[in-house]
Copies of this chain bind each other. A is one copy, B any other.
């Protein structure tokens, strides 16, 4: 296991960028867009990383084959325009994740085509935009994504996301949130799919300045670092017809 990766982590932060370009209050909250705030968070904590951004309005949503080929980890933010993401681009991203590209899905990305397609369930949940205080509790203190943040993380105001969250049981349950209204939510979850690693993290919303919260920023950066695979060339899992004893040949 190589602990020293040969080159810097390359992250692409994708954002639908609709709220920020159509609603002045949100534009004021996130003057560089949510993607800008999230990209800065990763740069802050992973200064060696090469962090780019892409948005829905760009050709191919900014996610051409060549962009994905030089992306180790893709961060995804979407909310009101999931249905406007081209199926062809979604399929392209999915193939890359299954081939080993890391994926960090944030907040309302739970209903994105890429997330529901990779998980297979509705990913539905309960919600309330009611200025709840969110507390994010660590339940897996051995996980590297939890490094450097307190338990709980205290987010003074946030949208409520509550159970039942219709996801497959996560491979690792890292964080559980409570809200001042009493709800709970599995707010930090990892999934392995194909050769790729996926981290879902729910805190963060267009209506609250959560992506400027220092602990939330740290978790997102941790998640991006964790989702990277050091397995060399990416490759999609293949179907293979194998002769008897093929492995003896390959090991000779």
A→B interface (CB under 8 Å): 1-5, 98, 100, 111, 117-122, 124-128, 130, 132-133, 135, 137-142, 144-145, 147-148, 150-152, 154, 160, 162-166, 168-169, 171-173, 176-184, 186, 191-197, 221-222, 225-226, 229-231, 236-245, 247-248, 250-251
B169 engages A128 (CB within 8 Å): no
Residue from A117, A176, A179, A241 whose CB has the most chain B CB atoms within 10 Å: A176
What residues of B have a CB within 8 angstroms of the CB of A120 in the complex? 117-120, 193
Residue of B139, B160, B230, B241 near A164 (CB, 8 A) is B139
What residues of B have a CB within 8 angstroms of the CB of A192 in the complex? 140, 142, 168-169
B171 engages A177 (CB within 8 Å): no
What residues of B have a CB within 8 angstroms of the CB of A147 in the complex? 1-2, 230-231
A150 engages B222 (CB within 8 Å): no
What residues of B have a CB within 8 angstroms of the CB of A242 in the complex? 126-128, 160, 162, 181, 183
Closest chain B CB from A101 CB (angstroms): 12
A225 engages B137 (CB within 8 Å): no
Q: Which residue of B lies closest to A142 (CB)?
A: B192
What residues of B have a CB within 8 angstroms of the CB of A182 in the complex? 133, 135, 152, 178, 180, 245, 247
Q: How many copies, total?
A: 4
Distance A182 CA – B135 CA, assembled complex (angstroms): 7
What residues of B have a CB within 8 angstroms of the CB of A2 in the complex? 147
Q: Which residue of B lies closest to A118 (CB)?
A: B120
Residue from A125, A169, A182, A184 whose CB has the most chain B CB atoms within 10 Å: A182
Distance A126 CA – B248 CA, assembled complex (angstroms): 16
Distance A173 CA – B154 CA, assembled complex (angstroms): 24
Query: Can you list 23 residue pairs at the A/B interface with Cβ under 8 Å?
Result: A1-B145, A1-B147, A1-B222, A3-B4, A118-B120, A124-B237, A125-B239, A133-B182, A137-B162, A137-B163, A138-B163, A142-B192, A142-B231, A150-B247, A151-B164, A152-B182, A152-B247, A154-B248, A166-B237, A168-B168, A176-B184, A178-B178, A184-B184
Residue from A173, A184, A231 whose CB has the most chain B CB atoms within 10 Å: A184
B241 engages A127 (CB within 8 Å): yes
Distance A93 CA – B63 CA, assembled complex (angstroms): 32
Closest chain B CB from A244 CB (angstroms): 5
What residues of B have a CB within 8 angstroms of the CB of A154 in the complex? 247-248, 251
A231 engages B141 (CB within 8 Å): yes
